[in-house]
Amino acid sequence: MQLESFDRDGITFVAIPVERLDASNSKEIKKLMEPIIARNNKIGVDLSAVRFMDSSGLGALLSCLRLVANNGGDLKLFGMRDSVRALFELVRMHRIFEIVASQDAAVEAFA
């Protein structure tokens, strides 16, 4: 698996290219995110392809948020489907992550 990323306005945007972010791939996603986080401390994560996420997926994203925060940066999530958003709200992770609607909204949130 590869993560597609690009820079815009000083922010690195990363698209998570899987429909299921769960125990089967969460460790790999986290490992692929580490060098991206090392390059930039402003990260926008596109979750529009993700249809299902479990606690392992949440844990991987939380680990990424911690890595970014330890470097003095921030991570914003966008493109989240309603089913994934419901999970974030159920476990109150929407209070930890900043969730915005789109890439443009992420750029504005970082400004």
Instruction: Give the residue from 50, 35, 41, 38 showing the smallest Cα distance to 76.
Output: 41
Model pLDDT, residue 74: 96
37 or 1: whose pLDDT is higher?
37
Rounded Cα gap, residues 81 and 66, in angstroms: 23
Report the number of distinct structural domains present in the chain: 1
- What does the angle CA 40 – CA 94 – CA 80 come to, to the nearest 5 degrees? 70
Q: Is the pLDDT of residue 1 over 90?
A: no
Contact yes or no for 44/71 (Cβ under 8 A): no
Structure tokens at 61: 């994203």
In this predicted model, what pLDDT tens digit does every residue of 20-32 receive, in sequence order? 999 999 999 999 9
Question: Which CATH number does the domain housing residue 12 bear?
Answer: 3.30.750.24
Domain membership of residue 94 as a residue range:
4-110
* pLDDT 10s digits, 49-102: 999 999 999 999 999 999 999 999 999 999 999 999 999 999 999 999 999 999
What is the mean pLDDT of the segment spanning 35-44? 95
Question: Looking up tokens 């089967």, which residue turns up?
Answer: 24
